[in-house]
């Protein structure tokens, strides 16, 4: 019997075998010519994946929270005003980080599963003199996707830097940094980028870099200070050795392989694949009679789905049964309703086969929990949604 489960949480996700092979290759010196070449290529490929030809990429050893911390530490000075467009737990985390560096933060929130309207955001932008606005592209606690393009367009008229938390979106949801005037986008390796956890990735626009260079006060974080990292990234890009702190050599090698795979697939094709797989998953969930956390279907992300438990089914029983069927799913995360829903991640190397397996495991668990429905309904709806494209 196969002793392997299918990991379908919203990160970490299942990884491609070539990426894992790169991770397992002998570790090079961080200043060896072969590694310098790999690091340089990874930085160049990041520009293509973030669709930001003139951006400054940073690859740091750390998780997505470090990427957020680095953005806050380097762009905020005490007393700066910041606007957080909140769609859940991770949006609020960004606010807390900015506050830690002395920002005066205004949060625009909405009920769980909703998102602040463009009108509301514009009203706030008009009245406040904001240095920076954060937008969580997909808040993984709710599965809500923000309209980053329109929000960035509003910001362009009112001046703040636009910082996008793309941890659950970059390389899965459509994000065109330069074209949409995004000043900083960040992510982590373990989601749609398709590399095991351990890398924080940032792409900094020329405007954000200028704002950093115009700082009057020192950066209050030693490791994340861009002054320590910019010359390192420039050196690797110029294929020269450099050191500030030891890079995660094996993870960078794996990243370089994954970025090449992403670029080979093509960004547009990749966005479309994520959309098609998401549509199939959501059709399956809907056919089983389960609601979803996003309050409107257009609020639902392409990288994950957040179904609500039907009446009579509890998370502990349901998730244990899903695991028994060989699939790992995540429970709810939003502090206001975490016991009411579960989360399915579908990003990176995900296939329609993974979605069908997941839906089969969900059906199995629902049946074990006594929920009445016709077996096969969810799988069948997903298949139809996927192949009737
Ligand atoms: N932002 C979002 C949208 C996330 O989904 C996560 C992780 N789930 C983070 C930030 C934090 O990333 P990490 O756990 O890698 O620190």
Condensed to tens digits (0 to 9), the pLDDT of residues 343-364 reads: 999 999 999 999 999 999 999 9
In the block, tokens 């959501």 appear at 282
| Overall pTM > 0.85 | yes
What does the pLDDT read at residue 65? 98
Round the CA-based radius of gyration of the chain to a whole number and report it. Answer: 21
Ligand 1 contact via 165 beta carbon (within 6 Å): yes
Contacts of 367 (CB under 8 A, 6+ apart): 373, 375
Query: Whole-angstrom Cα distance, residue 224 to residue 123?
Result: 33
> Across residues 54-75, what is the average pLDDT?
98
Could you tell me which of 7, 28, 18 has the C-alpha nearest to residue 241?
28
For the chain, domain boundaries: 6-11+267-387, 17-265
Question: Best substitution site from 62, 89, 168, 331 to test ligand 1's pocket, by max atoms within 8 Å of Cβ?
Answer: 168
Contact 90, 187 (CB under 8 A): no
Give 92-97 contacts, CB < 8 A, sequence gap 24+: 93/65, 93/68, 94/68, 94/134, 94/136, 94/163, 94/165, 95/134, 97/65, 97/68, 97/69, 97/71, 97/72
Helices (H) then strands (E): counts for the chain? 13, 14
Ligand 1 centroid to residue 167 C-alpha, Å: 6
Q: How far apart are CA 10 and CA 21, in angstroms?
A: 23
Q: How far apart are CA 78 and CA 105, in angstroms?
A: 11
User: What share of the chain has pLDDT > 70, as a percent?
Assistant: 99
Alpha-carbon gap, residue 150 to 132, rounded angstroms: 16
Is 188 near ligand 1, meaning CB less than 6 Å away? Answer: yes
Domain covering 6-11+267-387, topology: 3.90.1150
Ligand 1 within 6 A of CB of 212: no
Task: Look at residues 262, 296, 145, 127 and name the one whose alpha carbon lies nearest to residue 194.
Answer: 262
* Residue 168 beta carbon below 6 angstroms from any ligand 1 atom: yes
Pick the CATH number of 17-265 from 3.40.190.10, 3.40.640.10, 3.30.70.1400, 3.40.50.1820: 3.40.640.10
**Residue 143 CB–ligand 1 contact under 6 Å:** no
Beta bridge partners of 202: 58, 186
* Centre of ligand 1 from the C-alpha of residue 260, in Å: 23
Q: Is 291 exposed, middle or buried (0-12, 13-18, 19+ CB in 10 A)?
A: middle
Per residue in 314-348, pLDDT (tens digit) is 999 999 999 999 999 999 999 999 999 999 999 99
């Amino acid at each position: 019997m196969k002793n392997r489960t299918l990991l379908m949480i919203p990160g970490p996700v299942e990884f491609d075998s070539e990426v894992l092979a790169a991770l397992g290759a002998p570790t090079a010196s961080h200043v060896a010519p072969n590694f310098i070449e790999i690091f340089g290529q990874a930085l160049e490929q990041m520009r293509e994946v973030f669709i930001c030809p003139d951006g400054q990429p940073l690859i740091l050893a750390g998780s997505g929270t470090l990427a957020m911390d680095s953005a806050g530490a380097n762009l905020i000075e005490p007393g700066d005003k910041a606007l957080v467009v909140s769609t859940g737990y991770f949006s609020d985390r960004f606010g807390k980080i900015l506050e830690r560096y002395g920002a005066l933060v205004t949060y625009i929130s909405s009920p769980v599963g909703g998102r602040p309207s463009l009108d509301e955001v514009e009203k706030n932008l008009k009245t406040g003199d904001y240095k920076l606005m954060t937008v969580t592209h997909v808040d993984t606690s709710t599965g809500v996707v923000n309209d980053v393009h329109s929000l960035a367009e509003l910001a362009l008229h009112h001046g703040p830097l636009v910082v996008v938390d793309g941890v659950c979106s970059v390389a899965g949801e459509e994000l065109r940094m330069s074209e949409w005037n995004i000043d900083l986008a960040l992510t982590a390796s373990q989601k749609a980028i398709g590399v095991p956890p351990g890398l924080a990735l940032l792409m900094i626009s020329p405007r954000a870099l200028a704002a950093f260079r115009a700082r009057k006060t020192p950066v209050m974080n030693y490791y994340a200070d861009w002054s320590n990292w910019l010359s390192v990234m420039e050196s690797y890009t110029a294929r020269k050795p450099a050191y500030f702190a030891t890079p995660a050599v094996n993870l960078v090698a794996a990243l370089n392989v994954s970025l090449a795979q992403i670029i080979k697939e093509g960004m547009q094709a990749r966005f479309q694949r994520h959309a098609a797989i998401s549509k199939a998953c959501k059709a399956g969930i809907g056919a089983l009679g389960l609601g979803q956390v996003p309050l409107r279907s257009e609020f639902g992300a392409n990288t994950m789905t957040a179904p609500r438990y039907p009446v009579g089914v509890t998370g502990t029983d349901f998730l244990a049964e899903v695991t028994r069927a060989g699939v790992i799913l995540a429970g709810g995360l939003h502090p206001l309703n975490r016991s009411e829903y579960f989360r399915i991640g579908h990003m990176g190397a995900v296939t329609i086969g993974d979605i069908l397996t997941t839906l089969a495991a969900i059906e199995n668990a629902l049946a074990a929990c006594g929920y009445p429905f016709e077996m096969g309904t969810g799988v069948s709806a997903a298949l139809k949604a996927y192949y009737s494209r």
